[in-house]
Structure 1
Amino acid sequence: MSQLQKDLKKKRPFEVPEQEAMLNLVRTNDLFQNRFGRLFRQYDLTGSQYNVLRILRGEGQPLPSLEIASRMVQVVPAITGLIDRLEKQELVARARCEEDRRVVYVKITEKGIRLLATLDAPVVALHKDLLGHLSRTELSELNRLLEKARLSTAAEE
């Protein structure tokens, strides 16, 4: 009996190995997201808001909101609402493009940069807490397998 089977108190084996692998991914993601959610809530952020700030800091210049949406780790249906909340917290600022008024550029503010700097060490520590028990070889293999698993979705993107 697998650990997942025990955790879920599942009496019968999984129908196919793909089902067990998928449920393992979902369960692991849920547990990890909960831990990150607790960390980000301490700073009045969600994981998606943190992701927007990281994208903007990494780019080093304002980006159109649709470009930010395309770079998100998790797809968000309402990037405008997400940016609205960050703007209300004064973590980002918006500016309309002069050449095309339909395009809105978003830039991270100094307050946003300071917040990310505060979060840098706790985020790295949480990464290490959650996955630090794996060797470099195991992490490399895990990354390779997850990338390979995502290939089945490439046609949909």
Structure 2
Amino acid sequence: MSFALAQELGKKNPFDLPEEEALLNIVRTSAALSIAFEREFRQYDLTDASYNVLRILRGSGPSGKLCSQVGRELVAQGPDVTRLIDRLERKGLCERRRSTTDRRAIWVVITPSGLDLVNRLDEPVKALLKKALGHMSRKELELVSELLVKVRTPVCEQALAAAEASSSESPKVQPKANQ
């Protein structure tokens, strides 16, 4: 591999492992791309995560989505989906609706204001994407996507297996000691 990242980071020697260099390249590139998008979203009092929620809700149509579905569909999944939706709801960009058939189920629906905002962001986001990645050919972009899926798949499969294993384990009940 090249020494470009090592030089950017001020390393005097090459990385010991190509895996380390690849991972740090992914992280560094993600951070660099995020800055430009965060700057754009900040103008609209949004974060990249709240923009992602609005896009998910726009795609779900007038019926909306269950809160849990929104959480699963986020690009960068995190535990604070409820707070994200709270903030968007306070701004009037989405609203919650309790299911009429299952009181535990809460649906989230984009409001007309939320739809207007996410629609207004379409062109600025496309322009940012072109600015950030427009220098690459379609074939290169497809290759980058394929390689990132190849990186992500085993990591996601391991995380899913670990989550399933921890949820299937029942707490061990200690027998009562004779007194």
TM-score band by shorter chain is: over 0.9
Deviations 1:97-155 (A, max 9, x none): 12211111100000001001110000011011110000011001111100111122123
1:56 corresponds to 2:68: no
Residue equivalent to 1:76: 78
Question: In the alignment, what sits opposite 1:107?
Answer: 109
- Aligned-partner Cα distance in 2 for 1:150–1:63: 26
2:134 to 119, 132, 135: 132
CA distance in 2, matches of 1:152, 1:9: 31
1:50 offset after TM fit, Å? 0.4
Corresponding position of 1:94? 96
CA distance in 1: counterparts of 2:17 and 2:126, whole angstroms: 35
State TM-score, norm by structure 1. 0.97
Is 1:155 aligned with 2:158?
yes
- 1:145 aligned residue: 147
| Alpha-carbon offset, residue 21 of structure 1 | 0.4
Report 1:35-46 matches (<5 A): 35-46=36-47
C-alpha RMSD of matched pairs (Å): 0.9
Aligned residues: 157
Aligned equivalent of 2:34: 33
Distance in 2 (alpha carbons) for counterparts of 1:85 and 1:134 = 36
What SS is found at the alignment partner of 1:95? strand
Runs of 4+ in 1 over 3 A off after TM superposition: none
Q: For the residues of structure 2 that align with 1:69 and 1:128, how far apart are their CA atoms? A: 28
Cα deviation, residue 2, structure 1: 1.4
Which ranges in structure 2 are unaligned for 5 or more consecutive residues? 161-179
Deviations 1:9-49 (A, max 9, x none): 10111011010000000000001111110010000000110
For structure 1, the 5+ residue unaligned runs are none
Q: Distance in 2 between matches of 1:138 and 1:58?
A: 28
Match of 1:10 in 2: 11
Question: Which digits, 9 at most, give the CA deviation of each residue in 1:64-122, with x for residues without a partner?
Answer: 10010010100121111110000000000111112211111100000001001110000
In 2, Cα distance between the equivalents of 1:87 and 1:151?
33
Alpha-carbon separation, structure 2, partners of 1:10 and 1:103: 52
Judge which range, 93-102 or 42-51, deviates more. 93-102
| Identity across the alignment (%) | 46
